[in-house]
Amino acid sequence: MELNTNGELMEAGNLKGRLLVYVLRDALGLTGTRFGCGTGFCGSCTVWMDGQLTLSCLTPADSVVGKAITTIEGLAATYDPNRLHPVQQAFIDEQVPQCGWCMSGQIMTAAALLNGTQDPSDEGIAAAMEGNYCRCGAYHRIKRAIRRAAEVMARRAGEEVQA
């Protein structure tokens, strides 16, 4: 079976009985989507399905045939193919990751949040991000990076309107 992943149709093999997280990681080699708990608690495996946040560890792979999957490897291209997504750049600028294992999930969740709202409140950030654990405790910097990315995205949106 083929999966539409990061804008490309990719041959993923037999999907019967398979979970999206393992198909992405093992069949397609997209290991940027991480496995953390396998039960939907930790958010490490977060991807987008037709732009909506999806926990790939709970998603049967055959249920996403025909849908557009976006992983961390394809995130930048959804915004600007020539550079990192503003959320990724903000996570560098604020030096957020420590071990980094949760970061793909954090970034996918934060980017979806900022697609939906330009200027999230503290409560909005907490509500959106509380399903993404960070055992290293980079929470402080995650909040700062999301605010920084929100500013950048709002500014760029403003520039586009002017142009």
Partner 1 sequence: MTPKLTRRQFLALAGVGVAGAGLYILFRTGKGYLIENFDEFLPPIIDDPNAWLRITPENRAELIMSKAEMGQGVQTAFAQIVADELFLPFESVDVIMPDTTVMPADIVGTAGSGSVSSMYPVLQKAAARARELLKAEAAKLLNVTPETIAVQDGVIVVEGQRTEHTYGSLIGGKQIVVESGDTPAPVKAVSDHTVIGKPKPRVDIPAKVNGSARYGYDARMEGMKFGKVLRPPTIGATLKNVKVSAAEKSPGVLQIVRDSDFVGVIAETQEAANVAINLIAATWNERSPLLQQSDIDSMLIPGGSGGETIAEAGNADSAIQGAASVIEADYASPLAAHAALEPQGSLAYVRQENGGWIAEVWTATQAPTLSPAEIARAIGLQAEQVILHNYFLGGGFGRKLVSDSSIEAARLSKASGLPVRVNWDRAEEFQHAFMRPPTRHRLRAGLDSGGNVVAWIHEQSSGWVLFAFLPKPLQWLLGIDLAATRGAVPAYAFPNHRTTAWLRDIPAKTGPWRGLGLLPNGFAVESFVDELAHAANADPLEFRLRHLGDDSIGTRLKRVLQTVADMAVWSAPLPARNGWLSGRGLACGEDVKTVVAQVAEVAVNPQTGEVKVERVYCALDCGLIINPDGVEAQIQGNIMWGVSSALIEEATFVDGKVRATNFGDYPILTIRQAPDVVIQLIENREEGPYGMGEPPIGPVAASIGNAIFNGTGKRLRRLPMTPERVLGA
**103-116 vs 122-129: helix crossing angle, rounded to 10:** 130
Contact call for residue 137 and partner 1 (CB under 8 A): yes
Contact call for residue 71 and partner 1 (CB under 8 A): yes
| Among residues 2, 8, 26, 80, the one that binds partner 1 under rule CB under 8 A | 26
Give least dist CB 159 to partner 1, A. Answer: 23
Question: Measured in whole angstroms, how far is the alpha carbon of residue 66 from the centre of its chain?
Answer: 19
Give least dist CB 14 to partner 1, A. Answer: 9
If DSSP codes are grouped into helix, strand and coil, which group holds residue 139? helix
The CA R_g of the chain, rounded to the nearest whole Å, is 16
Contact call for residue 18 and partner 1 (CB under 8 A): yes
Which residues does 160 contact at the CB level (< 8 Å), separation at least 6? none
Per-residue binding letters, 80-99, with partner 1 (x by CB under 8 A): ----x---x--xx--xxxxx
